[in-house]
Structure 1
Amino acid sequence: MNAYISVWKLRFLSGLQYRAAALAGLATQLFFGLIFIMVYVAFYQHSTAEPQMTLSQLATYIWLQQIFLSFVMLWFRDNEIFQLITSGNIAYELCRPCGIYSFWYAKLLAQRLSSAILRCLPILLIAFLLPIPYNLSLPPSASSFIPFVLTLLIGLALNVAISMFIYISVFWTMSPVGSTLVIAVTGEFLSGMIIPIPLMSAWLQHFTYVLPFRWTADFPFRVYSGQIPPAEALQGMIIQLLWLAVLIIVGRWCIKRALRQVVVQGG
């Protein structure tokens, strides 16, 4: 356990050093957040149908996506792990006296946390100061905020567990491009990052409910806005934890299968 905590600390502190990249990402996320909200404001002003989300809830949903983008994006990747697999240097990882799945999981978790910490506070402050309807609203009550924090953290752990399959697939494909595109694009759409799930058609909403992706982003964000009440949030947390356990168990099984077939050439 000490090895995993140590690598988590090292990666977390290392990630905090990339301030220039964080500033560039900050500007990009503010820009896209405003553009997305402007598009939805235009749709809401000219729509005759009654939407399932208010404009205020939608603006909050989008700002939470941008604030916690490092938590929820599946295309966030560690090129060092890809290089270890494709170059054959995975042999050095196998020499460590710890499980490779848990070791990589701790690294990826720390990277996402450090990236989010550098960006979230500035975006949070700016989003709160924007005029209505472009601003980030406060949660309706403390009873909504506490479940939001818990569901967001479980969603982060769930997202890392999903992203681990991208790295595991490279043992067979030897290229991260295909698996990153397929999993990232599919996961981003089904988690509500492109279109919020309440604005999707009914059949597509039911489809997203049976997959793990919506539990990483859509679920905690709607808990924050109060669209999902605290009692329902507690039930959702149980489902999140079940998905997390399933994905970790399957991920560990897959990486064991992959390591049995690893061939490291050279002397």
Structure 2
Amino acid sequence: MRIENEGLKPCFSNRIKNKFKDGKVYVSFFKIRFNCGIQYRAAALAGIITQFIWGLMQILLYRAFYSSSPEAFPMGLAQLSSYFWLQQAFMNLFMTWFLDADIIESITSGGIAYELCRPLDLYNMWYIKSLSSRFSKTAIRCLPILVVASIFPKPYNLSMITSLNLTVTFLISMTLGFGVVVAFSMLIYVITFFTLSPIGIRIVALSLMEFLSGGIIPIPFLPESIQKIVELLPFASMQNTPFRIYSGNIKGMEILFSIILQAFWLMLLIILGKYLMKRAVNNAVVQGG
């Protein structure tokens, strides 16, 4: 029995070492993509100006409706202003229409063969690349929008959180929502394996994500019968949940339920994505030499 245990120790230690090495490789992928993303400063400046103007236009548009009967709306104008400013500041984290062109190209062109030669989990590698691409764009754009929006006069400004518990809750929800967006995007990449062209699935999936996640109209403004269904879907666990927590539209036990729902969808989408990825890779056929 003693000999068997001694034989298992090197095996276990090797697994730990391999996992550690894989982790370092994934960190390297993240750094490479992040450094590439922050190089385009002129594009970032143009994006900041565009997002700031667009956010202001949205607020002024809704203000016109609020001026007639503000009590008829499910969110106060101050809450809605915070929602829209957060939407613009963190647009690159939660933008549902963004897909990594390099990943799509590698699938449709056959370049996936080179990816499969690497001794790494393909799903994890693409997931890290997607995280980094979105995070790098957000890192150089969000702060100027948040600062300027916070000094606007009420109720058109970004209100500040005064509670530490609410701040922590908001950051947890942001992290989970970000993970759900990337996990759903991974499903689109994987489904591309099974289609002749990625255009159809991209148009359908991205249109659904944009509308049902609250990207066009905040979910509370939908009819109540539809809203109850939409809030249970994975799309509502993206930008909708953290932004409404920040603005104070979600409170009490509803916050806890929303975060649990986010964690549920994140795990489910990752498990489903890994399963479909395994099937796709096993059945993949790459033409050419």
Say if 2:60 is the partner of 1:46. no
> Which stretch shifts more, 44-53 or 239-248?
44-53
Normalising by structure 1, report the TM-score.
0.95
Q: Distance in 1 between matches of 2:139 and 2:256?
A: 26
3-state SS of 1:105 partner: helix
Deviation of the 1:48 alpha carbon: 6.5
> What is the match of residue 203 of structure 1?
225
| CA displacement 1:153-200 (0-9 Å, x = unmatched) | 111011100011121122122433222221111111111111111111
Contact 1:56 1:133 in 2 (8 A): yes
5 Å-filtered alignment, 1:158-169, equals 158-169=180-191
5 Å-filtered alignment, 1:120-199, equals 120-199=142-221
3-state SS of 2:81 partner: helix
Say if 2:272 is the partner of 1:247. no
| CA displacement 1:198-257 (0-9 Å, x = unmatched) | 111101111112201111111101111122225432332222111111100100111112
3-state SS of 2:184 partner: helix
Q: Distance in 2 between matches of 1:176 and 1:66?
A: 28
> What is the match of residue 138 of structure 2?
116
Q: What's the C-alpha RMSD, in Å, of the aligned pairs?
A: 1.4
> What is the match of residue 87 of structure 1?
109
Letter in 2 for 1:12: F
Count of aligned positions: 267
Taking structure 1 as reference, are residues 230 and 141 closer, same or farther at Cα in structure 2, changes over 3 Å only?
farther
Letter in 1 for 2:52: L
Q: Distance in 1 between matches of 2:198 and 2:51?
A: 25
Contact 2:184 2:269 in 1 (8 A): yes
Taking structure 1 as reference, are residues 48 and 228 closer, same or farther at Cα in structure 2, changes over 3 Å only?
closer
Say if 2:30 is the partner of 1:8. yes
Contact 2:173 2:259 in 1 (8 A): yes
Q: Distance in 2 between matches of 1:236 and 1:165?
A: 22
Contact 1:139 1:226 in 2 (8 A): no
1:73 paired residue among 78, 95, 101: 95
> What is the match of residue 32 of structure 1?
54
Identity of aligned residues (%): 47
> What is the match of residue 18 of structure 1?
40
Deviation of the 1:131 alpha carbon: 2.3
> What is the match of residue 243 of structure 2?
221
| CA displacement 1:44-70 (0-9 Å, x = unmatched) | 012365322110000000111001101
> Which stretch shifts more, 166-175 or 110-119?
166-175
Letter in 2 for 1:64: L
Taking structure 1 as reference, are residues 65 and 89 closer, same or farther at Cα in structure 2, changes over 3 Å only?
same
Normalising by structure 2, report the TM-score.
0.88
